[in-house]
Amino acid sequence: MQIWNTLKTGALLAVLTALFVVIGGALGGQTGMIIAFVFAIAMNMGAWWFSDSLAIRMSGAREVSPQEAPELHQMVEVLSARANLPKPRVYLIDSETPNAFATGRSPEKGAVAVTTGIARILSRDELAGVIAHELAHIKHRDTLISSVAASIAGAVSMLADMAMWGMIFGGLGGSDEEEDGGIAGMIGGILTIILAPIAAMLIQMAISRSREYAADAGGARILGDALPLASALEKLEWAAGRVPMQARPATAHMYIVNPLSGEGLANLFRTHPVTAERIARLRAIRSEVTLSTGD
């Protein structure tokens, strides 16, 4: 799994480079391509080394000490020991909508973030199931690719904004000699504004939905019971539908359930498996998990 995730991360970084170069060429010709290539290389390095901190920053999370959140820290410590993982850093997100995610390019750099509202709706066992799920993501080493995808999606969205403002200010004037280039730039800008958000969404969807199923099963094994996580997912999905979280679309795929509401066509681009199917799978493996833990 580690090798496969490394290959997928490399593929995403290659896609980012190609996308930046193509868009740079559409907006600024050969010069634009060169500038875009240099920017893409810098972005690749940043996405690899700083994607976890960027994801934390984009989510608005803050690190909390054991003195600030003793029960949460104790839960994370106990479950990390069961998973044979170093204890990750613990973060809180100031949001009433219950949700959680994990990040970190390696288990040694792992971090778990939960919203302030999660303990108000989940029981202690259900919260433990959520934490175990996030620890499974860290154990499976798929938090790196999730964080990189969040950085890439944010960068691609930024390109769309740059293209839009470039069209607005670039179209305010210009000589007749620049008309042909201006038209080409305008077409490139329009295509960027339309296609860049779609590309960002597809990049997020490139993160296989199967990783959520694997983390669900892995979390159930860490906890020793599949039912608390199944119950937690049911509550989290209900809450997300009632009060969607004020989360950035670039980081939506990192959360345990989709923090953004979406109906109809939006469901075609879901970054998460259908929650009801996740719950059904957890209930189906309950006896297997119980037998494997010797309970």
Kindly list the catalytic residues.
Answer: 134
- Asked if 278 and 216 count as a contact pair (C-beta separation under 8 A), the reply is yes
Dig out the tokens for 150 from the structure: 């969040």
Do 110 and 136 meet the contact criterion of CB atoms below 8 Å apart? no
Helix and strand totals (H; E) in the chain: 10, 4
Q: Where do the H-state alpha helices sit in 60-100?
A: 70-82
Evaluate whether 275 touches 257 at the Cβ level (below 8 Å). Answer: yes
Q: How far apart are the first and last CA of the chain?
A: 28
The 3-class SS string of 120-162 reads HHCCHHHHHHHHHHHHHHHHCCCHHHHHHHHHHHHHHHHHHHH
Rounded (to 5) percent helix, strand, coil in the chain: 70, 5, 20
For residue 3, CA distances in Å to 8, 141, 145 come to 9, 10, 12
Given a contact cutoff of 8 angstroms between Cβ atoms, the answer to whether 220 and 194 are in contact is: no
Residue 22, CB-side half-sphere exposure with 13 Å CA sphere: 12
CA distance 270 to 263: 10
